[in-house]
Amino acid sequence: MTRRRRTIRMLAAALAALFLAGALSACGDDEPSGGGGDGASLPAITVGSANFPENVLLAEIYAGALEAKGATVSKKLNVGSREALFPAMQQGDIHLLPEYTGALLSFVSKGTAEARDTASQVTALTAQLPAELAVLEPSTAEDKDTVTCNKETVDKYSLVSIEDVAKVDDQIVMGGPPELRSREGFGLPGLKKVYGIEFKEFKALDVAGPLTVAALKDNKVNCANLFSTQSAIAVNGFISLDDPKGVVEGENVIPLVAKDKATPEVTDTLNAVSAALDTETLKGLVKRVEVDKEAPADVAASFLTDKGLGS
């Protein structure tokens, strides 16, 4: 009996040791993996983007900067418009997005916010965003919505500003993404409210992409919604109209992040990216993607390396 008890005790001790070793091993598997740096203090993050080249590029920059710190990053790029992305953020399917101060505030406030400058926009966003989301430091890089027309239309109607369009709006076919039809702020409702414009026709195209550029170039639309940093404007001789009444808000690039992912290291990393971005730099990066046809991930990596933010 004594030998039997001793054998049982030995087996029990061995099983306990195996259990403890397995538990410790399982804890080690929870640590995130990534690039250089100490990833243990960084959460796993899913970075998303809208479906236009600049936003994809910015998402790649955010992702690369976090990976360089050791974060485990997954990407959901070219998802679609803000109307699709924002619910995905609220549901936790995406944790980080490159956003634009004015457009995001207009979306969140349903076009009621009066803030025009960056500081007041950030203050308003902080107050109006859902509790689970936050914005970090904005960059000085700005990419505004524009009403851009082909030269034929500008010459025919002597257009200089959006205000001039109101005088001939029954002759103007406007192009842009489908959501422009219903968006407050910069959208058909906003253009009607601020300038009294009711276009002859609106053609739903893509988000300032190849369909929109081709339609404008071929005069299938007279004017369209393009972005101020787009290389296509200068390359095709298009003309962006002045906005004397300010229907277009300030549009600084800013990270929108899930609060539970905004650890101090994540925040510091993304704020460093914002500090390194300005409008002229962003234009140059966008040109490399749109005109030179470089991959957004490659352009992002070179930018991060140049700024000392890469791995």
- Got the DSSP string for 188-209? HHHHHHHH----SEEEE--SSS
Query: What is the distance between the alpha carbons of residues 50 and 15, in angstroms, rounded to a whole number?
Result: 53
Judged against a pLDDT cut of 50, whether residue 44 lies above it is answered with yes
Q: Express each pLDDT in 193-239 by its tens digit.
A: 999 999 999 999 999 999 999 999 999 999 999 999 999 999 999 99
Mean pLDDT lowest among 8-17, 22-31, 103-112, 195-204: 22-31
The angle that helices 264-276 and 53-68 make with each other, rounded to 10 degrees, is 130
Query: What is the distance between the alpha carbons of residues 44 and 303, in angstroms, rounded to a whole number?
Result: 23
Q: Which residues contact 39 (CB under 8 A, 6 or more apart)?
A: 31, 32, 33, 69, 70, 71, 72
Judged against a pLDDT cut of 70, whether residue 76 lies above it is answered with yes
Judged against a pLDDT cut of 60, whether residue 17 lies above it is answered with no
Terminal-residue alpha carbon distance, the chain = 64
Q: Quick one: pLDDT at residue 6? A: 42
Q: Quick one: pLDDT at residue 153? A: 98
Residue-averaged pLDDT of the chain: 88
* Domains of the chain: residue spans and CATH: 39-142+253-306 (3.40.190.10), 145-240 (3.40.190.120)
Better pLDDT: 190 or 23: 190
Report the candidate in 216, 221, 222, 220 with the shortest Cα–Cα distance to residue 236.
216
In the predicted model, what is the mean pLDDT of residues 33-44? 60
**Sheet of strand 145-149, all strands in order from the earlier edge strand to the far edge:** 201-204, 173-176, 223-227, 145-149, 239-240
Q: Quick one: pLDDT at residue 143? A: 95
- Residue 40 confidence class, pLDDT cut points 50, 70, 90: low
The model's pTM: 0.80
Better pLDDT: 155 or 16: 155
Q: What is the four-CA torsion angle of 76, 81, 86, 88, rounded to 10 degrees? A: -40
Alpha helices (H) along 30-161: 53-68, 82-91, 101-109, 118-128, 151-157
Query: What is the distance between the alpha carbons of residues 303 and 13, in angstroms, rounded to a whole number?
Result: 57
**Facing residues of 74 across strands?**
46
Q: Which residues contact 289 (CB under 8 A, 6 or more apart)?
A: 53, 54, 56, 57, 295, 296, 299
Q: Quick one: pLDDT at residue 36? A: 47
The two most distant CA atoms of the chain are separated, in Å, by 108
Query: What is the distance between the alpha carbons of residues 227 and 287, in angstroms, rounded to a whole number?
Result: 13
